[in-house]
Amino acid sequence: MGDERYTIKDIARMAGVSAGTVDRVLHNRGDVSPKSKEKVQKVLDEIDYEPNVFAIGLAAKKHYTFVCVIPCCKPDDYWHSVFLGIERARKELRSFNIDIQYRHFEHGNPKSYKDACALASSDDVDALLVAPNFRDTTLNMIRVLHERNIPYVFIDFNIENTRALEYIGQDSDLSGYMAAKILMRSYTAGDELVLFLSDTKESPSEIQMHRRINGFMRYLHEKLPAVAVHEVVLNKHDEEENRIILNSFFRIQPNVAFGAVFNSRIYMVGNYLRNNNVQMKGLIGYDLLPNNVELMKQSYVTCLIGQRPGLQGYCGVKTLCDHVVFKKQVESIRYMPIDILIKENIDFYFEFV
């Protein structure tokens, strides 16, 4: 029946309700009894009803503003891919009077993130796309959004039980679990492991890292409970300091054969291995930054896990549009694939944008 065209009057007649009731159900305006809503929904399901979204967009006089709270970015980094995905969605949806604005922040900087959240939650907006950084600041912001009845979508990292419209990103715990499973395939007795961290595990800005490490350690506890695990905290901005740290570490820990990095900064370790002629049996990390990919092709990085950041940005804006403009129901979670890339298949992989 899906090929036929039905008017609101047709649906009302088939459901035994008024045309006004059908209109309120289609546009989620409320003031409909559960019984009447059930009748209308049954007919909509039977006829496989799809609203003419293009007619909706052309007829709408309202303009919509979506604000994206994401980290500052530069070409070729992870967040630039998110930005490109957002911009692609903007171009596709421009006929529906949607304006995209940004509130950028410096990742890991509590004041920068707090300022961006304060601006975003006070703006005259219809919806937000948020890449959460500090949990408490995020919770403070969404309390304001709930009071103002402003919907929001999380990307990259999920803060559960906050009534977000949707989370779009990987299952962080499972991603860490898979990283350990892939990395430790060639483990032999006596091999040791090091976790390379870009901040201490207690840092409130590294909530994504916490989840991945939890999943990673869960695999080790299940499969390799006797493996020795070390931790090294690297400086995000000082390559020379990292060289000194790593020189000392590898000198006193000669049995370390495997390493894991839980964000896109695997290049910090890979560059050290290449520059100092150090070999490891396995090194795994995240994100297809050009430097990371080049190090993998040169065999200093064993494997990279891709998160499709461009698709996250794109789907985030599309979800907000579906909910705010087209009044569609959306899923509460949309997990991104956990893409496993090695040097043999990296040339065949491409990002969404």
pLDDT, tens digit, for every residue of 96-109?
999 999 999 999 89
Chain segment 111-136, per-residue pLDDT in tens: 999 999 999 999 899 999 999 999 99
Cβ-count burial 17-32 (b if 16+ within 10 Å, e if not): beeebbebbbeeeeeb
Q: Are residues 20 and 79 in the same domain?
A: no
169: left (phi over 0), alpha (psi -120 to 50) or beta: left
Q: Average pLDDT, stretch 266-281?
A: 95
Q: Are residues 159 and 90 in the same domain?
A: yes
Chain segment 222-244, per-residue pLDDT in tens: 999 999 999 999 998 899 999 99
Q: For position 195, what pLDDT does the model report? A: 97
Q: For position 22, what pLDDT does the model report? A: 86
Q: Are residues 42 and 66 in the same domain?
A: no
Q: Are residues 233 and 262 in the same domain?
A: yes
The pLDDT of residue 46 is above 80: yes
| Cα angle for residues 273, 345, 213 (degrees, 5° grid) | 55
Q: For position 41, what pLDDT does the model report? A: 87
Q: Which of 322, 281, 330 is nearest to 302 (CA)?
A: 281
What six digits make up the tokens of 156? 């990259």
Is 39 part of a structural domain of the chain? yes
Q: Average pLDDT, stretch 238-254?
A: 95
Of the two residues 37 and 343, the one the predictor is more confident about is: 343
The pLDDT of residue 350 is above 50: yes
Q: Are residues 278 and 255 in the same domain?
A: yes
Helix axes 266-275, 290-297, angle to 10 degrees: 40
Q: Are residues 300 and 313 in the same domain?
A: no
Is 141 part of a structural domain of the chain? yes
Is 346 part of a structural domain of the chain? no
Is 351 part of a structural domain of the chain? no
Cα(300)–Cα(329) distance, rounded to whole angstroms? 46
Cα(74)–Cα(348) distance, rounded to whole angstroms? 24
Cα(154)–Cα(138) distance, rounded to whole angstroms? 10
| Residue 303 near residue 183, CB atoms below 8 Å | yes
Q: Are residues 228 and 258 in the same domain?
A: yes
Q: Average pLDDT, stretch 266-282?
A: 96
Q: Are residues 239 and 263 in the same domain?
A: yes
Q: Are residues 302 and 177 in the same domain?
A: yes
Which structural domain, as residue segments, surrounds residue 43?
Answer: 8-50
Is 352 part of a structural domain of the chain? no
Cα(195)–Cα(301) distance, rounded to whole angstroms? 14
Chain segment 279-301, per-residue pLDDT in tens: 999 999 999 999 999 999 999 99
Q: Are residues 66 and 154 in the same domain?
A: yes
DSSP helix, strand, coil percent of the chain (3-state; round to 5): 45, 15, 35
Q: Which alpha helices (H) appear in 191-265, and where do they start and end?
A: 207-223, 239-252
Q: Average pLDDT, stretch 156-182?
A: 96
Chain segment 1-17, per-residue pLDDT in tens: 444 667 888 888 989 99
Percent of the chain with pLDDT over 90: 74
Chain segment 84-97, per-residue pLDDT in tens: 999 999 999 988 99
Number of domains in the chain: 3
Lowest mean pLDDT among 252-261, 268-277, 343-352: 343-352
CATH code, domain with 22? 1.10.260.40
Q: Average pLDDT, stretch 246-254?
A: 96
What HEC string does 22-49 produce?
Answer: HHHHHCCCCCCCHHHHHHHHHHHHHHCC
Is 349 part of a structural domain of the chain? no
What six digits make up the tokens of 206? 């590294």
Chain segment 314-335, per-residue pLDDT in tens: 999 999 999 999 988 899 999 9
CATH code, domain with 77? 3.40.50.2300
Q: Are residues 206 and 290 in the same domain?
A: yes
Strand ranges in the chain using DSSP code E only, listed in sequence order: 64-69, 98-102, 127-130, 152-155, 166-169, 192-197, 228-233, 256-261, 282-286, 303-306, 333-335, 339-341
Chain segment 189-224, per-residue pLDDT in tens: 999 999 999 866 666 667 888 999 999 999 999 999
Q: Where does the pLDDT of residue 51 fall: very low under 50, low under 70, confident under 90, or very high at 90 and above? A: low
The pLDDT of residue 29 is above 90: no
Is 344 part of a structural domain of the chain? no
Paired strand residues for 341: 304
Q: Are residues 164 and 313 in the same domain?
A: yes
Q: Which of 225, 217, 234 is nearest to 179 (CA)?
A: 217
Of the two residues 324 and 51, the one the predictor is more confident about is: 324
Helix axes 78-93, 309-324, angle to 10 degrees: 40
